[in-house]
Chain A
């Protein structure tokens, strides 16, 4: 990984010096060895502060939105998860491909508390699906990681037990909205929870209002979730949000035959477009 870090620093230094990009979004160090922080390199000399190691847990893609109204090109490090998030943001009309310079990094998974991070365990795209240049050699993809294993387990429970499970989990929610803010698919200009005096979402932190938020968010991203696992990683209360998201991903895949979200930047999403061939069992 130190090779990747060195190459990344060299490339970013050149890209900034040549004026190809105005800023590069990568990772930087913190005072803790096992943590990194999103780092913005603005000048060639900043490139030396970039870090790439097994603790680069943050998905950087959403920081590209900081440059959405900029005339300049922004550079960003993309692994599989970032590249799919970038595709998602372009497909949703939030980013323009020509204003991004994507430095691809094949990834073998990150570490959390000494073992493979939960968000990386079921990854099917360790290599970036889109990039302008690639650092290092592509890595082998995990063969059929059991991404729906936990969903199948939960599906086998009775509806009462599933209801109790999610009520208990959402009782823990403190409504910090870290899940929403970290999520590349949660990219509305204004979230319904922030709308003034609409009354959609009560601010009370109780199981009912927390569930309204949790389930609304899950449905809203159900066909666009790229399974990066950021929501679950950032949740300070440890709510297993990916169990919910993957249930919806699984249903959307089986009902609409959709491909995984974020594999291209022009794919329509099942719940966002009308098709005469769509199932209408309930009509």
Chain B
């Protein structure tokens, strides 16, 4: 993990707050009986948020987690979580992809969140038990219809937004943190399975912390 001062001011040159010279001078003056007033250091500025780029969604789609919602979440968790992130992009998904793709981390430091259909979703085919569990944990209400050929997923209230924010964005940030803090930003640093497990656990912890803070 990087030092907190570095995380707070990632673009400051190294040694920008080094006070050793000032202390040496003050000591020399003190030997001559002159006491110098120590000037207060300027407070380090908060690290800037990564750039968030928003592309208009496709017709009939939306970005469930808006730019403001993402910024609010990043500010809540602080610079330690977004250090090294270069940009977050809200983009249009690929209509040719048969899968439901929510987000992607392109190492190093680029997170892509795809637009989604508004609730309810109609999915051709069935989802596995693990996938259903992920959706249910996020608050979705999946329902199988038409002899198992289709599935309807209803997202009540803000659950879809929170799914995108925690289970997708924070999950990808979890992946990013593994890469970032291992110092090997462009190489795979863990087995995919371990990477995914760690990112899932990180997203879950973030959701718990956030919900506790909001409730408190």
Q: Are A and B associated in one complex?
A: no
The residues of B with any CB-CB pair to A shorter than 8 Å are none
